[in-house]
Chain A
């Protein structure tokens, strides 16, 4: 079983703060790295799928970077708002091809205080 580690486990920030958190994954046999946003009482929603070393993706105030050689991805939120409060999950495929299956990290719980 491959380990996907996320840090920190939880984070409290004030509205307007910028923040970032980390996803670490095995650097060998890289296929892709997925980020999901999971609000309380809802279901996970895809943010980004990243495939190339050095990839940067952006959606509004949220962006992500990828370093496949060292096995990490950062998720950044600029100017956090209370509606950004959620658990942010990263996921890494444990195999490719037709058996593409994701292993999820335990997530980073972000709370943005107004």
Chain B
């Protein structure tokens, strides 16, 4: 079991460029989440998905889009990167809604110059 994996691990973008972050889980979890982690801010939820084909906004969704075409994958897209999106991005998954553990991926460090 690989658990939750994220691709890429690091990326540097110029302002205005686009990119997609890929999250994959092999635990057959229904729920998947994208968070960003910034110094002094803690983990903040960007978007989440309650199942294949569904997505919903979290606390800080602006500037991001997501898709969940397959149950095991959750993609986070930045259409036009801004320096404010410089952050570490974590994907997580959980078995279902409710008091279940969330399993986190290793993170993607993104720098937008």
Interface residues of A (CB under 8 A from B): 1, 31-32, 34, 42-46, 49, 51, 89, 91, 93, 96-107
Contact = CB atoms under 8 A, between A and B. Distances in A.
Closest 7 CB pairs of A and B: A46-B101, A32-B99, A43-B104, A100-B97, A104-B43, A106-B42, A49-B99
A96 B102 CA distance: 15
A89 B106 contact: no
Given A43-B90, A43-B106, A45-B104, A96 B98 contact: yes
Interface residues of B, number: 25
Given A31-B98, A97-B97, A101-B45, 15 more contacts: A31-B99, A32-B99, A42-B106, A44-B90, A44-B102, A45-B104, A46-B102, A49-B101, A93-B99, A98-B97, A100-B98, A101-B48, A103-B59, A104-B44, A105-B42
B107 A43 contact: yes
Contact of B100 (A1, A43, A49): A49
A101 B58 contact: yes
A1 B97 CA distance: 19
